[in-house]
Amino acid sequence: MLTSRLPDWVEPYKLAARAERLEGLVALDGFARLAEQVGAQRGDCSVWLDFAIDAQGRREIHGRLKAELQLPCRRCLLPMTQQVESDFRLGMVTSDALAAELPSTHEPVLVENEQLNLLETVEDELILSLPQSVYHDEAQCSVSSDQLSSGEAAESSAPAAVSPFEVLRRLKGKP
Ligand SMILES: [Zn+2]
């Protein structure tokens, strides 16, 4: 189990040259962009990062992350616990132009002045790994699929195609 915290910033070229591994926790409540998408989160994300220089001389990071998130059910919007995991390869680039030269196996990560914003990188990766849509089992969901499919309940429930954020806005708008 991880107990240490990851630093906010690292010097990735040095870490790659020494083939170092960084592992640690990142607090989920610091991720504002993630919160915008799926609501505020608590707890930690576990992260493992292996820095390396590959056979082509590219500096890369092979990473893995794991977190327990509370994601809104698309039907009733109540949060449900979901395990999110991701395995990823990042290629370090110093400009957008260089990002285009990376093989499709690697996602570009921008290094400026030899510094890498680790928190932003982990947040990006976490957002990319969010499941497309999350639903309770019907028995546990507070909105039944009958309510959704019949037009009669239109006033009290939203059609399935409407985005959960739109529904949330409507709910919040109610007196
Ligand atoms: Zn639900």
Q: Give residue 119 CA to ligand 1 midpoint distance, Å.
A: 31
Confidence at 155, pLDDT banded by 50, 70, 90: very low
Structural domain boundaries in the chain: 9-128, 143-175
Q: Give residue 66 CA to ligand 1 midpoint distance, Å.
A: 23
pLDDT score of 145 more than 90 = no
- Cβ–Cβ under 8 Å, residues 115 and 10: yes
Q: Give residue 58 CA to ligand 1 midpoint distance, Å.
A: 45
For 100-124, write each residue's pLDDT tens digit.
Answer: 889 999 999 999 999 999 999 999 9
pLDDT score of 141 more than 60 = yes
Q: Token pair 């390396």 is at which residue?
A: 52
Nearest Cα residue to 31 out of 117, 114, 102: 117
Q: Give residue 143 CA to ligand 1 midpoint distance, Å.
A: 6
Phi-psi domain of 77 (left: phi exceeds 0; alpha: psi -120 through 50; beta: other): left
For 42-52, write each residue's pLDDT tens digit.
Answer: 999 999 999 99
Kindly report which listed range (126-130, 134-138, 160-164) carries the lowest average pLDDT score. 160-164
* CA atoms of 91 and 54, how far apart (whole Å): 10
Confidence at 159, pLDDT banded by 50, 70, 90: very low
- Cβ–Cβ under 8 Å, residues 61 and 90: yes
Q: Give residue 76 CA to ligand 1 midpoint distance, Å.
A: 4
- Cβ–Cβ under 8 Å, residues 145 and 138: yes
